[in-house]
Structures are given as structure tokens and as C-alpha cells.
Structure 1
Amino acid sequence: MDMSLDDVSVDLRRVLFEIAYALDEVGVDDIYHGHRVAYIAYRCAQRMRWSDAQCQTVFSLGLIHDCGVSESAEISALLTSLAPKNTRKHCVKGYELLKACRPLSELATPILFHHTWWQELQSMSTIDAETKQYATLVFLADRLDYLHGHYPLDAYGNITQRSKENIIGELQANAGTMFEPNQVVAMAELVACDDFWFSMEARHIESLSDTFLPLYHSPIGLDESIEVAELFAQIVDAKSSFTYQHSLHVAQLAEFFALQLGYSPRERKMLYLAGLIHDIGKLKTPSAILHKPAQLSDEEYACIKRHATDSRHAIERMFTNQSIVDWASNHHERLDGSGYPLGMNASQLDQPSRLIAMTDVFQALTQSRPYRKGLPLEQALAIIERMVNDNQLDRVVFDCLVGNAEICYRISTGQEYKQPVLV
């Protein structure tokens, strides 16, 4: 294939915020929790005179501290008390996700221990002192945000003096056991400060990072961009039991098709990346609509269609390569102009966009869902052939699917996949 390939990179700072936004969509009406934890931890670190790099690291940790949470029930459990039970699962999951993503792997260990009490953490000889400080400050900031939501605000939405005193009392009562004592001292001073609370709003929190040192600004290449995409795809797919691994299998199919159609190794990697991130916008789709087994109403279908636009916006904020943005977000466009959200037609859709569209349809048809089993290969091919004959999907890509039907079915259903060697 002969196509123009500009550099592929990802804005890691933007990724951290997008993960925070993604976690807001899991299902509990508690938006900007990651933003607030990042801000609280950052302000406390500044007050303790941590270095700029340490302050920025704990800010990053705060944004993504709950990246291992996938279900609303898990978040609800975290809001039941100051010392919730059964927190280990999401800490381990977050650790595993971050450890596998080289650009963010240094954040993995503090996330693993961000619900570990200080009295237990301080005695762990296998963890360095700095990591302990990061983990316990994120824990303290997370629990302060819980307390902020637990105590009443005044008629204008501001924290009352009584609530401040109650929060300080709870922090001090748990210093040395749940929380690190020096951090509690600094945090209590912040809680008493009006500016600390008045500045706790999303727009200001995002603007804070504009002044940061380039810890996460250094460009990364295609391989590491793929690792970031794999991290995000797992967060997206975990929202629903039936979309679990959908993005991964779409990516694998896209890479396989690209290999069969003669794309270069670099182009194949780019298509794999596009497949991973094509459904990022589904994080904003209400779970009840994603899970609905019956026919959707017009209003519900509008929510489904919106995910393609939401995907485009999120991808544009994170990834620098316009081709990847287009290939990923055009996956519901159709050659006859009947698709969404832009109603593009054949003259506007390049073959990589058509390839991603084909893999998305094929994977969706063959994947089992709670209310139906995945379709057999022959039935899925028959449906797609009708779409090709109606000039909705691409015939060249379809011929590739037919010629490799058995292995494509195994890839789509997670039975078998050997990643080609890409050099």
C-alpha cells in the first residue's frame, strides 16, 4: 500500500486525563473523582515541599488510581465507608494494566498499594520509601474525597466549617494507622484553607498540568503508542461483559487482513492500534443501552451512534496521527452513505477505514453476548455478503475474509491468534 504516514505518537498527559474521564463513565454519579484525587494529592505534596517531579507523579497517580475498576458495584463499594472492604481486586488489576504499558509502568506499584494502610505499608521491606509515600498519599487523597462527599455542604455547595472540623477529626483519628502521620498534618492544614476547596474544580485542575515539566511530554513511538492503546482498550472492553475483548479481537483481525492484503509492517501496526481504540467513545454510552437485548428506541439508537463521534474526539486528543484517527472513528461509515455519524460515502473512505469497518461487523456478529450466542461462520458471512452486495462494505476486504474464513473466525472468537512478526 502507498499511503502517507506521518509520525505516530501519543500525548501521555492527555491519556491520563482521558482515563480519568473514562472511569467517570463506569456507572456511578461521581464525576471528576480522579481529577479531585489528583488535585488533593498534588496540593498536599506541594505543602510538604516535595520536588516538582514528585508532585507531578502523585498528580498522575491520582488521575488514574482507579484504572482497575470496571464495574459500578466496585465504585459503590468504595463509597460505603472510610475503610471499605474488598479493595484488593481493583488495585491488582490496575497494577497489571499499568505494568504492561511501558510508558506508564512506573506508576504501577503505587497503584497496587493505594488502599494499603500505612501501618502495614511502612513495614514492607520490599518497597522503597518513595513508592510508599506515593501510595499512601493517593490513599489519603482518595479518602479525603470520600469524606468531602460524606459531610454536608452549605446551600451554595461550599463546605461548611463544621464539615471541615469533622473531616480533620477523622483524618487525625486515623493518623499512624490508616494514614501516614506527616501527610495527615499537611492535609489537615489544607482542609482548613478556603482556597484549597474553592480551587477544586475540573477546569482549574486540568490547567495545573499546563505548567508541568515534560515528564510525560516526550514523544513515544508506535510500539509504545500501541501499549497505551492496549491499556485503554482493556478499560473500554471491561465496561461490558459482552464487549470484553471486542477491541482486541477487532485489532487482531485488522492486523491479519492487512497482512493478507500486502500492507507494510508499519501500516499493519497502525491498523492494529486503530482497532484497539475504535470504540473508546462507548465509555459514554449508558450501560443499560449497551446491554439491552431488545430493539432500541430512536433515542437509544442516537446514544449508540454518538459513540463514534465521542471516539473521534477522544482519539484526536490523545493520538497525533490523523490516519489512525480516521481509520478508528470511521468504523460505522458505509460506502453507500447510510452509515454514521458523518454519512460518508465510498469516495471518502480509504481502504484501511473499510478494513476496520469489516472487522468490526464480523467480530460483533460472531461474538457471543449474554442474550445470544455468536453466529456461526456461515451465517455471519451471509449477512456480510448482503451488506457487500448493497454497497455498504468493501468487496476486496470481503474476498479476503472469505478466503481466510476459518482463521478469521478463530481470531474473532478468541480461539487462536498468532501475532505476525512485525519489523
Structure 2
Amino acid sequence: MEPSSDEISHVTQGMSVDVGRAALTVTKALDYVGIDDKSHGRRVGLICHRLAHHLGWEKTRRHFILIAGMLHDCGVSSTTVHQKLVDEMEWEGAEEHCIRGDQFLQSFPPFSTFATAVRYHHTRWQDLPETLDRETREYANLIFFADRLDVAYASFILNHPYHEALLSRENIFSELTPYAGLLFSGEFHKAAERAIQKDSFWLELRDEYLDDAIMEALSSEDYEVSLSFDEIESLGELISQVVDAKSPYTHYHSLRVADVAYTLSGLAGLPPYERRLLRLSGLLHDVGKLRTPDEILEKPGALNEHEIAQMRSHPLDSKRVLKSLFPNNQIAKWASEHHEKLDGSGYPFGWKGDQIDFPTRILSIADIFQALCQKRPYRHRLLIDEVLEIMDEMNAEGKIDTSVYTLLKANKDELYKIAIRM
């Protein structure tokens, strides 16, 4: 049964999301791939915006390049790929993530306008296709320039206090000078020479000022396009693709968890609007795993205590991202609590019993069920009877909700098909 218009209205209460805020949230998630440096995408967006001012671009172009700059690395899920991009001015494997980013953005209509700029953001200025219009060529190359400037900045502050960037601005900037007119437009280099003289250019790149500067830039451009709930769901699916692309062992995990949770919640009698919110939470529940190193997710054996400790932070990382996009509903709460157990043995909060609400219990069971149904680096995909044997034990130990698990067992074949389908 599809939700009525009144129920859809209920869903979207407190969920007015504009394109800029959605882009900022996606970027915060993508920035987790940097592990310790969690601000690269946002800094690139802000650098693009500041340089656009010095280039004399009008408002709509400044707004465009701010968002495109933030989203430029949406094709990067792997910490290994991220490190290669940071370590080398021109990495020969860079184009792959540009192509993937283009595909991701094309799949979400409100972001599709940024796709071509992202596709060519590692292409040399002189090598950009002549078939591209002048504006698109400038967008792509300004992102490339800002990206490389931020890499130089991030490398500097890794070993120096933030304020010393003010004293070393010329040295940081000098790393790009040999490439003016070759990798980057000479015009952009000249604009940057002016921009870097302002202390605010460097200070606003600091974590404590960055988001405020971006929000001010977004609001100052008098541009807002709100997303419908259907578009918000599509955004959730886009983010889930980025998350699940991090490892071949997690492909489609988030989408399948979301669909198992949606089906289970219907069997449990939840109202349609709550089911849609829960599905969205399922799509986004693992966004914090973008911060987890690839070698942990793909380790063929048991994790050691240090690796487990790193893994256990991902629900809170998910909450941090989702609260910024959905501050007034339960989506972030459900996503951040999907590893809680009724006996108090879960994480990160250690909730037990009535502290865990019913939708969270559904999402928790959906996550456990789908993970067991999917191949992992340390085991094969389990058959349904093998899955239920493990979950029977968890139920007997009081870790999961018996009423929800009973529904799952009664509909095991249908739910297993959902959990393993492509």
C-alpha cells in the first residue's frame, strides 16, 4: 500500500532540504575517506568559491563552483585511492574516480548539472576537450587547481600549527607555480596570487571556521532549490552507492538492508510514512564506514582489538553526518543505533531493553540478516538455514527483538531473496 498525500506530507515535515545543504552533507560523508583529514572536499569547494570572487564570476557561477568543488571527489570511496591522489600532483590512475563521480552525479538529477565539471577535474587545462563549452572547461580546471592547492595546504598543516600557514602562504602556493599555463589556467594562478594575500583565505580553511564559511557562502548566493522526499530518497541511494563501493564485499549492502527493513516494518504494521523514513535510515546507516580503512573492511581474518576499536566509531560518524541533513527527525538516531543489542552488549551507546525503540530493532535485525547473507572476506555467503541458526542463538541470548525476528523467520524466503538480490 502506497502512502497517501497526507502521509507523504507527514514524512517531509522538518525535512526541507536544499541542494546546497545536501551537497554539504554528501561532502562531509566523502571527507571521511581521508580518515584523519576530514575536510578536503569542503575546503576545495570554499577555495573554488573564493577564487571565483577574485575572477569576477557572477553569483550563479560562484554558487555552481562551490557545490561542484565540494562534490568533486564523489567517485572516491577507497582510502587507498585517496592517498594516491594526495601523494602525487598528477596520478596516472586519477581519471577512474572522475568517471565514477560523473556517473554518480548523473544518476541524481539535482546534482547532474555538476557531473561534467567533475568528470574532467583532473584533466590538464591544455588537454580539456574542445567540445566542452568555455564555462565547463573553467569549472573543471578551477576545481583541479583548488584541489591541488588544498593538497599542498593539507600537507603543510600535517606538520605545522594552523596559524603558520599565514607565515608560509607563499611557500605553499609555490608548489603550483611550475604548472601555471600547463596543468592550470594562467588566469586562475593570477587570481590565486591575489586571494592568498588575505588572512581570511587561510583561516577559513581551519575546521572551526570552515562550515560557517561555507554556509555563509551558500546563503549569500540567493539560490535555493528544495528537494522533494522522492529526491531525498534518491540522494540516500546515491550516498549508499558511494559507501558500498568502498569494498567489493559490501556492494549493495546498504540498499538491501534498507529494503529488508522496509519489508519487515510493513509486516510489523508500521505506518507507511515511518517505513519510508526507516528505509532512508537503512540506506544511510553505514555512511560512517567511509572513514574505516580499506584494509580493515577487506581483512580476510578476524580483526584485532585496535581494528575493532576503529570499526566501532562508524555509527557515531554516521550520526554526525546525518544530523546535519536531518536535524528534526529520527533518521540519524536509527542509523547510529543499528549496532545496539537488547542485552546492552552493543555499541556505541550500550543501550539495552526499552532504551532501543522499535524501528531501531527492525533496522538492527535487517543489518545482521543481510550481512550474514552476503559474502565477506573471511567467509562465504551463508544459506538461509545457516543464517537462521546464528540468529536463533542471538535471539535466545536476548540480543535481538523476538517479535521482529519471528516475523523474519515466518517470511524467510522472501526476505532472503531481497537480501541477496542485485
Q: In the alignment, which of 23, 35, 41 is matched to residue 42 of structure 2?
A: 35
- Measured after TM superposition, the shift of residue 315 of structure 1 is 1.5
Q: In the alignment, which of 148, 171, 194 is matched to residue 163 of structure 1?
A: 171
Structure 1 unaligned residues grouped into runs of 5+ = 416-423
Question: Equivalent residues in 2 for 1:9-408 (5 A)?
Answer: 9-10=16-17, 12-26=19-33, 30-121=37-128, 123-124=130-131, 127-148=132-153, 157-158=164-165, 160=168, 163=171, 166-167=174-175, 169-172=177-180, 175=181, 177-191=182-196, 196-211=201-216, 212-213=218-219, 218-408=225-415
- Measured after TM superposition, the shift of residue 276 of structure 1 is 0.5
**1:377-417 deviation per Cα after TM superposition (whole angstroms, max 9, x unaligned):** 101112112222333222232222222222322221225xx
After superposition, the Cα gap between the structure-2 partners of 1:382 and 1:28, relative to the gap in structure 1 and judged at 3 Å, is closer
Between the aligned partners of 2:331 and 2:35, the Cα distance in structure 1 is 31
After superposition, the Cα gap between the structure-2 partners of 1:183 and 1:27, relative to the gap in structure 1 and judged at 3 Å, is closer
**1:121-168 deviation per Cα after TM superposition (whole angstroms, max 9, x unaligned):** 3611xx333322211211121233345567899976435476367446
**1:311-341 deviation per Cα after TM superposition (whole angstroms, max 9, x unaligned):** 2232212114423233322212223333222
User: Are 1:12 and 1:318, in contact at CA under 8 Å, matched by a contact in 2?
Assistant: no
User: Are 1:77 and 1:85, in contact at CA under 8 Å, matched by a contact in 2?
Assistant: no
In the superposition, the TM-score normalised over structure 1's length comes to 0.85
User: Are 2:340 and 2:347, in contact at CA under 8 Å, matched by a contact in 1?
Assistant: yes
Between the aligned partners of 1:195 and 1:10, the Cα distance in structure 2 is 29
Identity among equivalent positions (%) equals 35
Q: AA paired with 2:375?
A: S
User: Are 2:72 and 2:121, in contact at CA under 8 Å, matched by a contact in 1?
Assistant: yes
Between the aligned partners of 2:275 and 2:169, the Cα distance in structure 1 is 59
After superposition, the Cα gap between the structure-2 partners of 1:79 and 1:378, relative to the gap in structure 1 and judged at 3 Å, is same
**1:68-119 deviation per Cα after TM superposition (whole angstroms, max 9, x unaligned):** 0122332333245433323221111111111222332222221112122333
Structure 2 unaligned residues grouped into runs of 5+ = none
Q: AA paired with 2:142?
A: L
User: Are 2:35 and 2:292, in contact at CA under 8 Å, matched by a contact in 1?
Assistant: no
Between the aligned partners of 1:263 and 1:269, the Cα distance in structure 2 is 10
User: Are 1:35 and 1:202, in contact at CA under 8 Å, matched by a contact in 2?
Assistant: no
Between the aligned partners of 1:339 and 1:303, the Cα distance in structure 2 is 15
Between the aligned partners of 1:263 and 1:355, the Cα distance in structure 2 is 11
- Measured after TM superposition, the shift of residue 273 of structure 1 is 0.7
Between the aligned partners of 1:206 and 1:311, the Cα distance in structure 2 is 17
Between the aligned partners of 2:158 and 2:414, the Cα distance in structure 1 is 59
User: Are 1:24 and 1:31, in contact at CA under 8 Å, matched by a contact in 2?
Assistant: yes
Q: AA paired with 1:105?
A: S
Matched residues, number:
410
Between the aligned partners of 1:285 and 1:268, the Cα distance in structure 2 is 29
After superposition, the Cα gap between the structure-2 partners of 1:409 and 1:168, relative to the gap in structure 1 and judged at 3 Å, is closer
In the superposition, the TM-score normalised over structure 2's length comes to 0.85
Between the aligned partners of 1:250 and 1:396, the Cα distance in structure 2 is 18
User: Are 1:40 and 1:141, in contact at CA under 8 Å, matched by a contact in 2?
Assistant: yes
- Measured after TM superposition, the shift of residue 252 of structure 1 is 1.5
Of the structure 1 ranges 250-259 and 155-164, higher mean CA displacement relative to structure 2 is found in 155-164
